[in-house]
Amino acid sequence: MPKLKTAIISLTCCEGCQTAILDLGEKLLDITEKLDLRYFRLASGVRKFPGPYDLAIVEGCPVTKDNYKKLKEIRKQSKILIALGSCAHLGGVAEIKNYGDKNEKMKYVYKNFEKIDNPDIKSIGEVVKIDGFIPGCPIDNREFYRFVMELANGKNPKIAQNPVCYECQLRENGCLLQKGKPCLGPVTLGGCEAICPSNNFICEGCRGPLEGTSMKKLQKIMDGKMDKKNLMKIAEIYGAKNEFEEQ
Amino acid sequence: MKIKIDHIAKIEGHAGFVGHIVKGDIKKAQIEVQEGARLIESLLIGRNYEDVPVITSRICGVCPVIHCITSIKALEKAFDIQPSKETILLREIMLAGQTIQSHVLHIFFLSATDFFKDRDGIDLAKEKPEIVKKVLRLRDFGNNIIKTIGGRSVHPITPKVGGWHKRPTKEDLEKIKKESKNALAYSKVLIDLISSLKMPTFERKTEYIAYSPTNKYIGYIGEVKSSNGWSVKEEEFKNEIEEYQEEDLVVKLTSHNGKSYATDALARLHLNSNKLHPKAKKVLASSALKLPNYNPFYNTLAQSIEVMHLVEETQKNIEELESMHWKNLNTSFKIKSGEGAAILEAPRGILYHYYKTNNKGIITESDVITPTAQLLVNLNDDLKEYLPRIEKYSKEKREHEILKLVHAYDPCISCSVH
């Protein structure tokens, strides 16, 4: 099987997912043995790689007109398009502005704002068709490694539909919900090794909801002790509020 | 003649370059920022203070720790919290880890590669596996520090206002100390590699501004100092400089008395070099970097000397922590209305965070000034002076020289816009 011509491309974001990939260190060199990694701006001097790509991995969400143009062009040029991290998958922190007055928010930061793009934030899947996603803010680079290695071997990688609680219990963490903390673990897609609860911090849903679940389920689990509005305020952080609404 | 570079690779975020020369006269030479505005400061308004370190970490995936900790420092001032000595030391160790990993990424992958034929970190890794392995392990050392204390290397989890969600054990720190011996040796390998590169000869005098800690080269408590002799408290910094937005520009730039200034590793060396640890001090003394130095290409060498210093600093900080109680790492506090401004040295220079809260701990005002927003004006001024020297070069060589200068600055465009 020929190596997949691959590009890792970022739209507007913090580039933490690219950094997490780079953090693979020597293991990144294994990936470059299996994939024909043509474009990876954080490590490579190649400035342009217009495609076509066998595999395009896109982090960030579209904010500027150029971002939109680029995203649509990437879709045209790629066989497989994967959303990388919360911004691409859910909208990410930038989506918080959708839940308030975005023009007010723009004016708070800039005096001259007329020419600055200020669209509603969308995940890339709301703009173009995606073929899969690697969730998280940031991504778990071990999951990334497994995911792309399976793609390189012609497989169709899947992320198991388990809640964050599943791995949290395996790690024998004390339950934050039982301590009365608003942890989104029961309704959030696992695979992160429950890294936040393992560090005594609530799950804030950066990997998005489990299939077929919603925040209502969490409210039931909590016997209505937590206001849905407060839980949704947490889900705003990674742009997952709309995803956590009842399907 | 018009020079246009659409997309600059090997920087964090998106930017291009435009230059315009008419009969040897530079009409334009500047970085064009192509990043979307995420409006991070305004996203915090109306949210609980506990969300602030979580959201501001996401300003930058390369330097999340510094945004996280600087926001906490500012909020602790707003709530009149005095963090424990242990907490301050742990934060300093984490910040050292951050700067080590960010510097090594920049020095090796983004900048030094410009001096090799391939200009590409991954290709160079295959070509010089022995050096690269050591460099990667040095970067891993920085990342491991962040992971050990912060729970994760990108976007740390454990730091919070008042202290920690979860604290490391003394054994965790002992492990870092053990690893530091190799890291110190690898930092010398990196310094030797950078010292062997022939830096372009170019100088333009500028003002250096850096956060200068009382007894440390890089540290938690200090004040802002300038190579022009003035100093201000961190709370006063915003009044000392001018922040402005040129029309349509998505970055708010800064100047001091109407002029550009530098805030980066070179600025820190100029203002704080007497506080370097012995090994780093010795390396500086025998290096080609003689102070004062106004050649921005030396920023990379300055960074690599800082890496060595920070490994030494981490050893020292861990030793100090070992002798402490570790009983009350977290400080209890009452939420109140207040305001706080804080500065810490990010890998790329001065980072300023400011917050105002109401009596329920809800954010009512926020402001962030990043190092790249400050140093872009200085970079543009350098580009204007550098361009005439390379005007006669072939298109490819000229572009390469422009990129070399841009890369030496290590700009983080994601941070600058945020």
Tens of pLDDT, residue by residue over A126-163, are: 999 999 999 999 999 999 999 999 999 999 999 999 99
What is the model's pLDDT at position B119?
65
State how beta strands A132-134 and B2-5 pair.
unpaired
Q: Are B12 and A15 in contact (CB < 8 Å)?
A: yes
C-beta separation of A47 from B8 below 8 A: yes
Predicted confidence at residue A97, as pLDDT, reads 97
Each residue of B291-303: pLDDT tens digit?
A: 999 999 999 999 9
Least confident of A33-37, A73-77, B36-40, B113-117: B113-117
Measure the CA–CA gap between B310 and B104, rounded to whole angstroms. 12
Closest-CA distance, B271 to chain A, in angstroms, reads: 30
Structure tokens at B396: 């490819």
Q: How confident is the model at residue A247 (pLDDT cuts 50, 70, 90)?
A: low
Beta bridge pairs of residue A136: A139
Candidates B6, B38, B136, B356, partner chain A, best to mutate (most A CBs within 10 A): B38
Rounded to 5 degrees, φ, ψ at B346 are -75, 165
Please report residues of A whose CB lies closer than 8 A to that of B166.
199-201
Residues A32/A54, Cβ–Cβ less than 8 Å = no
Distance in angstroms (rounded) separating the CA atoms of residues B44 and B78 = 15
Partners of residue B249 in chain A, C-beta under 8 Å: 112
Encode B185-196: b = buried (16+ Cβ within 10 Å), e = exposed: ebbbbbbebbbe
In one letter, which amino acid is A79?
K
Residue B122 pLDDT level (bands cut at 50, 70, 90): confident
- Domains annotated for chain A, with CATH where assigned, are 5-152 (3.40.50.700), 164-244 (no CATH)
Q: Tell me, what's the pLDDT at B24?
A: 82
Task: Provide the 10 A C-beta neighbour count for residue B410.
Answer: 28
Which pTM was predicted?
0.97
- Of the given ranges (B9-13, B127-131, B190-194, B236-240), which has the lowest mean pLDDT? B127-131
Confidence check: pLDDT of A91 > 80: yes
**pLDDT for A158-200, tens place per residue?**
999 999 999 999 999 999 999 999 999 999 999 999 999 999 9
Give B330's contacts (C-beta < 8 A, 6+ positions apart).
B84, B87, B162, B163, B164
Are A97 and B43 an interchain contact pair (Cβ–Cβ within 8 Å)? Answer: yes
Main-chain phi, psi angles of B100, to 5 degrees: -60, -50
What's the average model confidence in pLDDT over A67-86? 97
**For residue B399, is pLDDT > 90?**
yes
Task: Assess whether pLDDT exceeds 70 at residue B59.
Answer: yes
Residue B410 scores a pLDDT above 90: yes
Question: How many angstroms away from the CA of A28 is the closest CA of chain B?
Answer: 9
Domains detected in chain B: 2-417 (1.10.645.10)
Asked if residue B118 has pLDDT above 70, the reply is no
